[in-house]
Structure 1
Amino acid sequence: MLNLMRLEMKKYKLGSYIKGAVLANIVIAVTFVAMLFISHAESELVFNNYTEALATIDAIIRAIFIIFAATLISKLIIVEFKSKTINTLFLYPINRKKLIAAKLVIVILFTFVSIIFSNVFVTAVFSVVTDYFVLLPGTLTAAIITQHASAVLMNAIATAGICLIPLYFGMKKYSVPATIISSILIVLVVSSNSGSFSLNDIIVIPITLAIIGVSIAYFSIRNIDKTDLK
């Protein structure tokens, strides 16, 4: 499995996605800091406290990487089925299930790790700037950080499952647009945030969606031996 994953990552030059993730983090951090300075200059608070700000950061990061995951699914799986190049791979003495599983594990790990590291980076930059320039009321306490870290971990786990849902829509007609559009619709459901509340706060919603995503991946892998492209 690990060898297959390494080969897939080398084949598709997934380092470009890592660079894209880094760039996205920089843009998010700069955007949030700019929002704070503008709101401070106009004496209008964009966030009422650190808890609200950190929750918004996490929501935006999850939204971005759900869409990132959809582009990965498109590149690693949908395009290969659409162009029928997957047939060439199926001719090699490689277990089909392991091959598709390796591709999906790459998507899952990329999404999970990106969400964790992005939250750490953006939150660190955000916190240092806000504390130094006193741009938010209140103090970023250890309790707030601990609570946020726990929420980020749980959200990252759930999102790693949720990001697989677009696979179902993409595989229906091997459609890249369907894959991307479905990821955007999912983002509207799980990452919309009003500051103090989002649908993601209703724990049953992300858990249910994560289970659906994992189930889609499971059945896709289980049925792959029956799939033949002509």
Structure 2
Amino acid sequence: MLNLMRLEMKKFHLGSYVRGAIIANLVILGFLFMILFISKVEGDPGLENYEVALSVIDSFVRAVFIIFASTLIAKLIIGEYKFKTITLAFMYPISRKKLMVAKLAIVMLFTFSMIIISNALITTIFCVISDQYELIPDVLSSSLIIQHIPSVLMNAIAASGIALIPLYFGMRKYSIPTTIISSIIIVSVTSSNSGNFTLNDIIIIPITLAIVGLGIAYLAIRNVEKVDV
């Protein structure tokens, strides 16, 4: 399975997605500092303390990489069906189910690992700069970071499942734009902020969506032997 995943990653040149992830992190950092700058100019506390800041960082990161995951699904699966290149892959002496599991595992592992790494990287840079220039009227405590870690891990796991939901919409007509647009809609609904509150804060919602995503993946794998391409 690991060899198959490695071959798929090499075949689709997924190293470019890592570069894209780095650029996305820089954009998120820039956006966060822009919020701080605008809030200072207007005298409105945009990020009044580090608890809010860490929550906002996590929300931004999850939103970005759920959409990233949809582009991966579009490249690894939807595009292969759309352009019939999956036919050649299915001719190899490899189980179709095993091939699909490898593709979906790449999407989930990429999403999970990038959310964890990006959270750690962005939080570190943001907090160091904010503390140095006193951009947030608060003191970052180690207890807050320790409390935040389990939340980040759980959100990353849930996001890895949620990231699979666009597969359902993309596979209906093998549409790449539909795959990506559906992920944007999902992110918009679950991450829209109202008074520092999002639907993702209701723990049952991300868990349910993650289970739905895993269910969609299971159906895609289960029926792959019967699907004509």
Unaligned runs of 5+ in 2: none
Counterpart residue number, 2:219: 219
Q: After superposition, what is the alpha-carbon deviation per residue over 1:69-121, rounded to whole angstroms, capped at 9, x for unaligned? A: 00000000001101111111111111100001100000000000000010011
State how 1:1-230 maps to structure 2 within 5 Å: 1-194=1-194, 196-229=196-229
Equivalent residue of 1:225, what SS?
coil
Equivalent residue of 2:197, what SS?
coil
Which shows bigger deviation, 56-65 or 38-47? 38-47
Deviation (angstroms), 1:41: 4.4
Superposed CA RMSD: 1.2
Q: After superposition, what is the alpha-carbon deviation per residue over 1:44-77, rounded to whole angstroms, capped at 9, x for unaligned? A: 3211211111111111111110110000000000
Deviation (angstroms), 1:125: 0.9
Contact 1:50 1:136 in 2 (8 A): yes
Q: Counterpart of 1:154 in structure 2: which amino acid?
A: M
Q: Counterpart of 1:53 in structure 2: which amino acid?
A: A
With structure 1 as the length reference, what TM-score do the two structures score? 0.96
Q: Distance in 1 between matches of 2:195 and 2:28?
A: 17
Aligned residues: 229
Which shows bigger deviation, 158-167 or 49-58? 49-58
Which shows bigger deviation, 125-134 or 186-195? 186-195
Deviation (angstroms), 1:195: 5.2
Q: Distance in 2 between matches of 1:200 and 1:23?
A: 25
Contact 1:111 1:160 in 2 (8 A): yes
Deviation (angstroms), 1:194: 3.1
Which shows bigger deviation, 85-94 or 36-45? 36-45
Q: After superposition, what is the alpha-carbon deviation per residue over 1:196-217, rounded to whole angstroms, capped at 9, x for unaligned? A: 2110010000000000000110
Structure 1 pair 202/186, CA: closer, same or farther in 2 (3 Å)? same
Equivalent residue of 1:147, what SS?
helix
With structure 2 as the length reference, what TM-score do the two structures score? 0.96
Q: Distance in 1 between matches of 2:212 and 2:222?
A: 15
Q: After superposition, what is the alpha-carbon deviation per residue over 1:22-63, rounded to whole angstroms, capped at 9, x for unaligned? A: 111112112212332343344332112111111111111111
Q: Distance in 1 between matches of 2:11 and 2:216?
A: 25
Unaligned runs of 5+ in 1: none
Q: Distance in 1 between matches of 2:127 and 2:15?
A: 29
Contact 1:165 1:213 in 2 (8 A): yes
Structure 1 pair 70/214, CA: closer, same or farther in 2 (3 Å)? same
- Runs of 4+ more than 2 Å apart: 37-44, 193-196
Deviation (angstroms), 1:151: 0.9
Q: Distance in 2 between matches of 1:84 and 1:41?
A: 54
Equivalent residue of 1:226, what SS?
coil
Q: Distance in 1 between matches of 2:174 and 2:150?
A: 37
Contact 2:48 2:138 in 1 (8 A): no
